[in-house]
Amino acid sequence: MRATVMYDAGDVRVETVPDARLIEPTDALVTVTRACICGSDLWPYNQMEHTEIGQRMGHEFIGVVDAVGSDVRTVKVGDVVVAPFAWSDGTCVFCQEGLHTSCLHGGWWARDGIDGGQGEAVRVPQADGTLVVLPVGEDDALMPSLLTLSDVMGTGHHAALAAKVGPGKTVAVVGDGAVGLCGVIAAKRLGAKQIIILGRHPDRIALAKEFGATDVVSERGDEAVERLRELTDGFGAHSVLECVGHEQSTVTALSIARPGGAVGRVGLPQQESIATTLTTFFDNVTIAGGPAPARAYIEELLPDVLEGRIEPGRVFDRVTDLDGVPDGYRAMNDREAIKVLIEF
């Protein structure tokens, strides 16, 4: 089969790899029909050190079940399924608490011998716990939005929950990438009154407004903090969604929470220590977040997607086939595309 492999910063190839196949009785074999490139894939794309063996890529996919192991009960051959960006058993103590990313028997795609989503097929470990069957055909028009349940919509939702978004709240979303845009959707869905997006790409800002953003802050650093305070009676936001992970964006996020507010961090941190100040201590600001347990949110968000109340699939502004994946990385890295959908 063919799959995406990264060998070095900027060196993404599509090549023939060993066919995915069932190994454990709890596995399912899924033929991938849709996948995508993630903003977090751009981190190795910019910084990866050369490797001879290459790194398989991709952690967001939808597909059709091709075969199941003897212990698999909840998915069957022919089912259309979505996979969250981490696999999990669904039964351990952390899965029962809804924190599937800390599953005792789980793991991550595209490492430790597990296939990546940016390939023609995937062996899915812990298939019963990991996969969610979708009640639609494999070419349903809702596929882009359903695919965001793998990661970005669940991650935006997680940021909103960690930042304690609720009815009537003032929300600031730091970052206008796909996760930030989904954070806007999540904030509106949870009843926020004012949603301020911090970003500066015109196409992304336009989409943020369609998703429910009420105000835009295009400044950076201290100027962004000042502008946001102007928009919030000088207090700052109740809820801040940090959707970038860079040091400056984290400092900005922590600086714009109002006393008693909360910051939900879902941008993969690009620095060792979290920037903090005496201000966040004296202001009793909650700092929460981490990798979203996307598996826990799929069932909650799925009805909103199926009934058209949210359209997170609009974050995809480019479609490619598998051969176009290397150029898709380039386009996202050059900010030509917000998020690239891969159709097989």
Q: For residue 267, give Cα distances in angstroms to 64, 84, 254.
A: 30, 17, 13
Task: Choose, by CB under 5 A, the member of 4, 33, 40, 88 that binds Zn ion.
Answer: 88
Task: Choose, by CB under 5 A, the member of 62, 68, 81, 95 that binds Zn ion.
Answer: 95
Task: Choose, by CB under 5 A, the member of 27, 60, 79, 89 that binds Zn ion.
Answer: 89
* 86 in contact with Zn ion (CB under 5 A): no
Q: Token pair 């429910």 is at which residue?
A: 212
Residues that bind Zn ion (rule: CB under 5 A) add up to a total of 5
DSSP string, 174-218: E--SHHHHHHHHHHHHTT-SEEEEE---HHHHHHHHHHT--EEE-
- Shortest separation between residue 160's beta carbon and Zn ion, angstroms: 24
Q: In 10 A of CB 51, how many CB atoms?
A: 13
User: Rounded to an integer, what distance in angstroms lies between the CA atom of residue 58 and that of residue 73?
Assistant: 26
User: Rounded to an integer, what distance in angstroms lies between the CA atom of residue 20 and that of residue 42?
Assistant: 25
- Shortest separation between residue 252's beta carbon and Zn ion, angstroms: 35
User: Rounded to an integer, what distance in angstroms lies between the CA atom of residue 57 and that of residue 36?
Assistant: 10
Q: Near Zn ion by CB under 5 A, which window of 79-87, 97-105, 174-182, 322-330?
A: 97-105
Which stretches does DSSP call E strand in the chain?
2-8, 11-16, 28-36, 55-56, 61-68, 80-83, 86-87, 107-108, 121-124, 132-133, 170-174, 194-198, 215-217, 237-242, 257-265, 286-289, 318-320, 340-343
- Shortest separation between residue 199's beta carbon and Zn ion, angstroms: 35
* 294 in contact with Zn ion (CB under 5 A): no
Q: Near Zn ion by CB under 5 A, which window of 10-18, 102-110, 146-154, 330-338?
A: 102-110
- Shortest separation between residue 105's beta carbon and Zn ion, angstroms: 6
Q: Which CB atom, from 44 or from 125, has the smaller least distance to Zn ion?
A: 125
Task: Choose, by CB under 5 A, the member of 92, 149, 241, 310 that binds Zn ion.
Answer: 92
* 103 in contact with Zn ion (CB under 5 A): yes
Task: Quote the DSSP letter at residue 156.
Answer: H
CA 5 to mean position of chain CA atoms = 20
Q: Near Zn ion by CB under 5 A, which window of 85-93, 150-158, 184-192, 282-290?
A: 85-93
Token pair belonging to 198? 């911090």
Q: Which CB atom, from 32 or from 103, has the smaller least distance to Zn ion?
A: 103
- Shortest separation between residue 293's beta carbon and Zn ion, angstroms: 10
Q: Which CB atom, from 208 or from 298, has the smaller least distance to Zn ion?
A: 298
Q: Which residues bind Zn ion (CB under 5 A)?
A: 88-89, 92, 95, 103
